Amino acid sequence: MRRNPFPPGLWLAALPVLGILFAPPPASADSFRFSGDRTEIVLAEGRERTLLRGNARVISSEITLEAEEIELFGTDFRYAVTRGRVRVTDAARDMTITADTLRFDRETENSRATGNVTVEDRANDLVLKGGYLETREGGDLLFVQIAVRVLQDDLTARAQFLRYRRLEEILELSGFPVVYWKGDQYRATRIILNLDTEEIEMQGQVEGSIFVERGEEDEPEEDEPEEDETPDAGDSP
């Protein structure tokens, strides 16, 4: 009988490495490529994992993960945990996420990110910042927490919690939200912004400051000088 040359729990290390996984993909995932300066692969049944270190990248048809370190594990390497200068590029949604750490599910395309999170939604010309991010519905529903910032051309907002429905372009802010929109300021317990229709809804204790720009036609007219009614000296009788 020929003996298996690879003992149980085998792990492999290569420097550098470039690999392609051809395992049968999950229902909504596809095959992908990975690369890194150094890679460790564990082949033990039930504990299969791949650890990429240094310029780590995982590339699929629509999603690209980049980080200092990426760990792949689970059935068909469904899950990815990324650490250090994380960058996720979603070509289908024209959206980029950067963070300190991020966990990604290749099957659902949902993710959780922590530490200096920035979302650039170029499709809607919007930037979101915070300390924690969770995406659902494949990335079309986003939850941002901790020192949330919202940036757009005529819009700046801050809050502690944000729910963002991308396809509807609706922002729901809570946790002492403040919105500066086109020169006006709004405060409330909860603020809902519709970026598509440019509508704002405020709930709870509401405060606002409206800036009215005065045009030339709105400025008061200067009083005309009164005519001197004093008779000339030559007109004296």
Instruction: Quickly state the pLDDT bin for 4 (edges 50, 70, 90).
Output: very low
57 pLDDT exceeds 60? yes
Averaged pLDDT, 160-166 = 98
**How confident is the model at residue 206, as a pLDDT?**
83
Judged by DSSP in three states, 40 sits in: strand
> What's the CATH number of domain 110-213, 2.60.450.10, 3.40.50.300, 2.40.30.20, 3.30.70.3270?
2.60.450.10
Q: Rounded mean pLDDT of 3-19?
A: 44
Between 127 and 207, the higher pLDDT residue = 127
Q: At 235, phi and psi to the nearest 5? A: -90, -5
Question: What is the domain partition of the chain in residue ranges?
Answer: 8-108, 110-213
pLDDT on residue 25: 41
Instruction: Report the predicted TM-score, pTM, of the whole model to 2 decimal places.
Output: 0.77
Nearest Cα to Cα of residue 106 among 80, 141, 126: 80
Residues sharing a CB contact under 8 Å with residue 190, sequence separation 6 or more, in sequence order: 172, 173, 174, 177, 202, 203, 204
Q: What is the pLDDT of residue 205?
A: 79
pLDDT band, residue 218 (cuts 50/70/90): low
- The pLDDT assigned to 16 comes to 45
Architecture of domain 8-108: Sandwich (2.60)
